[in-house]
Structure 1
């Protein structure tokens, strides 16, 4: 009787340990989801040139205020970013994220519905984490090297803030 009771208590203890470790592991498994939500574009940087996105909708030579990128948990995105089509097309599409092997660099790949071959890869940096939810996201990319015009090699950064929605 004592051995049966000991076995039952041991099994219950093992189950409790496994269940509690699963609860603590779950947030770590979901850590890559810190980018889900609606993000508002606040600035665009190309090399040394920085432009804040605070322009009016009719100002074509300025980065317009209120442009957003919504990243959903079902790996779909919606972009209202206009005027930067060579960088990121407005509209809807799919995205996927991964961590580059051997590094801690996270990347995101956008695949638009309208032009499925127009893939855009960006390095993702999340900043300003508070209680596990980042408040700022920076997407960094480039068009690669241009031996004819090295000024084209400048990295491009899209700076976003998380909306409170």
Structure 2
């Protein structure tokens, strides 16, 4: 299963249009496609006729057992594949590494960190790419790892149910 997310914190940049076109392209290519519009004002259904309407809304979707299983699967993917690759040679020779960070709520995210954990964050990835000690031969693999890290973190954070009472 492949998952694509079209996200932006800004309203109006064309998220729904891009998602609709991407979904249409995939469907036209014969790929089984599911589009979900989680916007506060969903408008994806104005692009296409609905073949199925969910019995509940977004809150019911994200608090369902299937969502918890999805988050668990994403965390497993993050730790057993992406992080496992980052913890193997030659990545272990680099001064900045990808690490696992858990929140108080039990959510797991992948972060870039200095060896002494004095600093964490995405700006360290850019620092690593520009570092003279980083072999040019690793740059494409580091880029792929960063893209995987971003997508997994976005999917995990997007699938965590928020407490509607807080």
Larger C-alpha radius of gyration, 1 or 2? 1
Q: Does the pair score TM above 0.5?
A: no
Structure showing the higher helix proportion among its residues? 2
Counting strand residues as a fraction of each chain, which structure ranks higher?
1
- TM-score norm. by structure 1 comes to 0.25
What TM-score do the two structures reach when normalised by structure 2? 0.25
